[in-house]
Structure 1
């Protein structure tokens, strides 16, 4: 396989991964919004979910877009999965 073909496959794998993980993060926001509308969460609780989403999405973006795409694709194949939602959780003081 050519290096160009390898890079294309790596880009496709990282892109698919990014799309799938981002959809999981958006699902947290959708759930919080639904729970807010049902009166189960207040505005501050939804704001906390939005804050965590923002942090998690930024970390996911950096992982998928900064650095060598081949290294990222290798990481996706060989390393344990990353819990992006947990990674976006606010740090305790």
Structure 2
């Protein structure tokens, strides 16, 4: 029973706040300012999922494909992995051959 006066005070404060907001809306918009907004609430779950699915994924490069490209570059140094054509050896290739 000790909480009854506190609860009643909070309820009165909330009603007064709502009445003050309504009065402000009524001054700016007329009698329609007292009505609640007729629009339905936004479906936020749908909105978030739509945004997530339209944005490109920001995943790190696939480690497996990266490893395979490295192995191919080591095993087939004379083949350009980007175009699949044979390329001439460069100074860098010859230097790597001497190291390896």
The TM-score range, normalised by the shorter chain, is: 0.3 to 0.5
Bigger radius of gyration: 2
> Which structure's residues are more often helix, by fraction?
1
Higher relative contact order (CA 8 A, sep 6+): 1
TM-score by length of 2: 0.31
